[in-house]
Every structure is written in C-alpha cells, then in structure tokens.
Chains A and B, each alone.
Chain A
C-alpha cells in the first residue's frame, strides 16, 4: 500500500512539490515562531533559572521581573532572620545608560550582586576573571552584545551614568528579554550605574535551610509586610508569564504558528483532494470489485503521511537555516527536542486532517458510479 500511495503521489511531481512546499513552510513557521517564543521566554527567566536561589523575595505587587519595585535593607534583614532561611543575598536589577566609545549611549540592564554572592553569578564566562566582579567599577558583559556596547575585550573602560566601569570578564549567550544588554557588577556599583539610593535593591535571593522545603520558606516570607515571596520555579514562571500573556507576545507568536498550520492544512488538503478526485474512477472500480474502504483510506492516509515526512524534513532544514541567520540579529530560536517532536506529531496530524475530505469522498463513493458516464 505504501508503494501505491507513493507512486500515485509522486506521479505528478509538480503537484507533490507544491504539497511538500506547503507542509515545509508550515513546519518552518511553527518551528521558527515557537522557537523564537521559547528563546524569548528563556531570556525572560534566564537569571532566575540560572540562580541557585530556592526562594525569591520582591516588593509586594511586583508583577514584572525586569521592572520590579525597590525594597530596602530593612526588608533584607527581615528576610535573612526568618526561620528556615540559610542564606540571603541582595540583587539589584535596573536600567542604566552605557556611554559608548563613540560618545553615544546605550540602555543597559544592570545586575548588581552582593559581595561574595554565591546564589547568582555570571555563567558561560569566555574571557577574563569573573572573581574580580567584587572590585568597585568592575563589570561583566556578553560577547553577543558587543555590536551594541562596542566592547569586545577585557580591560576596556566605559562610563555608566557617569560612573567608571571596566570590563573584567565576558560571557557568552546571556541575553535579556528586554533586549537591553546585561551588565553584571557589584551592588554598590550597580546603585551608582542606576541612580538607586544606597540602601535600595529589588530582590532577595534565599537559600532554604537543609530540611526545610522552599515552599514552606516562601510561605513564611510571605507573612512579612510589603513583600512577596516565590519559589524559584514559580518566580521563573511568573517572569515568563508576564511577558507572554500581559504583553501579547505569546499570542503574536502562536497566531503566526497557527497560521502556518492553516496554510499547511489548506495546501495539503487541496492537493490530496484533487488527487483523490482524479483517481475516483479507479477507486470506484476497486470498490466495485470488493476492495475494502479501509484499504483505500489507508492509501490516502499514507499519501498524507508521505507529504508530512517530506515536508517536515524540508521545513526542519529551513528552520535550522533560519535559526542560523537569526543568530546574527541576536535572536534565539530555541529548537528543543520537545518542540521538534511536537511539531513532527503536529505535522502528521495536520496532514491526516487535511486528508479527511478525501477520505470522506472515498467512503461516500458509490461503486455503482463507475457505470455512469
């Protein structure tokens, strides 16, 4: 049956090429759009996911991780002295203006860490010495942001809001959701770079004491006035959820991906249906001679699956090529195994759904019709 399906499908190579193109465009749109979405979402919770904090504490009512309201040192000490808290570290995350070598400025997202911070440190360090981060005015930037910051090597010096900054290390692949480059530094320097008052910051990262569940620690910290506390996974989900649902970013990506599926459905459905109509007399003859409906339906479904496999292979290749091209634009297309497998299943389902009209046509085909005309 596979042979029959393949031969009927490939008999008109131009039509098959159109079907395969339809599927591959559909697959590419789904992979690239959802891959971009996942890439953005990865960036949205990048810092949280790489931190070793069990619980995150922030100002009450702060919904957006990147624009969290300031809290003060009194809150920090309240958190640090709460039972079940083994370690607490402050984190400042705010925006500053990075003075470029050519005199222009670039908005940056400054990450200020406590001296000796352990719960969050720059990762993927590709140059320099990240241990120097505790020194006043020491900063770490990402190589992927070099085109924006015009900083390409360790030792280069710049100013952020007029305060001196020296690049002591470079990371790779750490990007923000807001597209403003991350600049890592110590807490005091961060305040200078963001014009924050001396006792202010945004988050307290908490390590739970051994034997105490993070959820229990979060519950206790939530009892403190004017503070909200979340476990790490919950904080990560909140960060992603905010950008995904509150800004329409998710809807935008998924709408385009859905349109891709619609394109695939229509193109494959049309090609298969036309093919079925062209062979209706042959199918009718087989039915007249006792062929089972199931056997004929299998031929049509096999054609759909062949279209799916070829279209997925082509579309996957296109998506990988697009991912490569987007790296240059600092965009991350995250093609996770789950996404790839899910898209493969979606493609097969889409092509089988596209075959439904043809299947219905064949099931309703009256074998006596072969005697008509």
Chain B
C-alpha cells in the first residue's frame, strides 16, 4: 500500500524525549520521524528499552516530547496546553494493552459502554453503541459475560471494542497479543487488520513478535532510542 499521496493521520517530526537531567539524563527517543497513515498497520519492533513505549506514548499524546513536534490529523498539538489533550485523545486514539485492563466487576457490554460514557458523559446511546462495537468484534453472544468468564482472546476483543468507542482514527496497541496463544494472537491481529482495511483506521502495534509482520503494511525498527528503519512489507494482510 503506497502512502506517498495520502495525508498522514498522525506524525512525529524530529521528536526527542530526554528523562532526568545532569548526570542522570537518559535519552529515550532521539530525533524520531514517523508518519502513520489511514488504513495501515504499522508495527513498531525493537528490543526492550529501545524506546518503543516512549514513542507510542508521545504519539498517543500521553507524554510530551522534550523536542520536536507531534501532528494529529494535520494539526500541531505539541504546543497545546495539557487540558486540551484529553478531547483530542478521545476522538483520535483508542488504546489496547497486553493486560486488557478491563473492570472485572463489569460485563463486556458495561466495560465498553462505560468508556463511551466517560468520554462523553451526555451520551445516552452508549449501550447501543457498545452492543454494536462488540458485535463488530464477534462477541454478540458474550455481551453479559464478565472478564473472568471470557478467554484471553475474547477479553482482548472486548478491549478492542472499548478502544473503538468514540470512533478513533488511530488504534494504538502495546503488545496486545503478548498474553495470547498463537491462534488467538493471530485472530486478534486479523481483527485489527480488518479495522485498518475495512474501516480505514490506522493501527500502530508495539510488538516483539515477528509472526505479526504478515498483518502489517510497514515495520518501524527502534534501537537505542532511534527509528533506524521503516520497512514496507511487500505482501501484507495474510490471515
């Protein structure tokens, strides 16, 4: 998939993140340039401590860069005040984590609906939207199950449905398949692939797992805080 003529949905330009100061200063990310396009899956690979998490945290507006700029849907957001960021995150980003982070007391439907309501307290249609999202990830028959009654793959699907609340343009996954067996992990990636291909969302996934590359359009390799390569996958979208 060629990205040369499409506008990026989000991008980092010369982003550097330095933690600490003086002798304890650590450069977690150095001069990173990266663009994310609608409809693609971008994998971010690299060894532990290479700066992957810092990169997606800055991309997801959860962390401010020390230098450089972040653009979301063409708007430079780096200089915005802290209070302006939650609404942008709510409309632009959905997050999926290795540990699912679901409320154990709530059913699948409630976990998704509550995320929708918390983004938009005035939303009276949250339950219906949650039902639709869970249906979209194939969990029609698990709406009223609590996380403890769901398999790992089903939990991650609930988490994906929750991330889709608010219809974000970008899904950010932090090792979303790490806690899953191979078959389930591939199923989750297939779901993310369809979200990218069918709905035109951008999906950014941090992973150590090379098996996931077949689902990706591009792979960014991060080493020692630098984006050392961004490779385009020649024949992606394998199921």
Which A residues lie at the B interface, using CB under 8 A?
A: 1, 3-4, 7-8, 10-11, 279, 281-282, 284-292, 294-296, 366-368, 370-372
Contacts and interface: CB of A to CB of B under 8 A. Distances in A.
A290 B89 contact: yes
Interface stretch (B65-73, B101-109, B209-217): B101-109
Q: Which of A3, A285, A286, A289 has the most chain B CB atoms inside 10 A of its CB? A: A289
A284 B62 CA distance: 11
B201 to A, nearest CB: 14
A291 B101 contact: no
B34 interface: no
B93 interface: yes
A4 B168 CA distance: 23
Contacts of B188: none
B115 interface: yes
A290 B167 CA distance: 12
Contacts, number: 89
12 contacts: A4-B110, A279-B103, A281-B99, A286-B118, A288-B60, A289-B89, A289-B163, A289-B165, A296-B118, A370-B95, A370-B174, A371-B57
Given A4-B106, A8-B103, A368-B62, A290 B91 contact: yes
A296 B94 CA distance: 18
A286 B106 contact: no
A295 B117 contact: yes
A134 to B, nearest CB: 73
Given A4-B106, A4-B114, A292 B53 contact: no
B53 A295 contact: no
Nearest to A278: B104
Q: Which of B56, B104, B110, B168 has the most chain A CB atoms inside 10 A of its CB? A: B104
A289 B115 contact: yes
B166 interface: yes
Q: Which of B94, B105, B163 has the most chain A CB atoms inside 10 A of its CB? A: B105
A288 B95 CA distance: 8
A218 to B, nearest CB: 60
Contact of A367 (B62, B103, B105, B121): B62
Contacts of A290: 86-91, 93, 119, 166
Given A11-B104, A371-B53, A371-B56, A291 B115 contact: yes
A295 B105 contact: no
A299 to B, nearest CB: 8
B63 interface: yes
Nearest to B99: A281
Interface of B: 53, 56-57, 60, 62-63, 86-91, 93-95, 97, 99, 101-106, 110, 114-115, 117-119, 121, 162-163, 165-166, 168, 174
A279 B168 CA distance: 24
A291 to B, nearest CB: 4
A223 B119 CA distance: 74
Contacts of A366: 62
Which are the 4 A-B pairs with shortest beta-carbon distances?
Answer: A290-B90, A11-B105, A291-B118, A368-B62
Contacts of A289: 89-90, 93-95, 115, 119, 162-163, 165-166, 168
Contact of B101 (A282, A295, A372): A282
A291 B106 contact: no
A281 B101 contact: yes
Contacts of A10: 105
B210 to A, nearest CB: 22
Contact of A7 (B87, B93, B101, B106): B106
Contact of B110 (A7, A281, A292): A7
A292 B86 contact: yes
Nearest to A296: B118
Contact of B174 (A286, A367, A371): A371
Contacts of A3: 110
A284 B106 CA distance: 16
A10 B86 CA distance: 30
A293 to B, nearest CB: 8
B105 A286 contact: no
A92 to B, nearest CB: 69
A288 B110 contact: no
B169 to A, nearest CB: 13
A367 B117 CA distance: 18
B105 to A, nearest CB: 3
Given A288-B93, A290-B89, A291-B86, 15 more contacts: A11-B104, A281-B99, A282-B101, A286-B114, A289-B93, A289-B94, A289-B115, A290-B88, A292-B86, A292-B118, A294-B121, A296-B118, A366-B62, A371-B56, A372-B53
Nearest to B101: A285
A288 B103 contact: no
B102 A282 contact: yes
Contacts of B104: 11
Contacts of B57: 368, 371
A287 B83 CA distance: 12
A56 B115 CA distance: 69
B91 A285 contact: no
A292 B60 CA distance: 16
A264 to B, nearest CB: 24
Nearest to A373: B99
Contacts of A7: 103, 105-106, 110
A97 to B, nearest CB: 68
Contact of B103 (A1, A282, A291, A295): A282
Contacts of A285: 95, 97, 101
B109 to A, nearest CB: 11
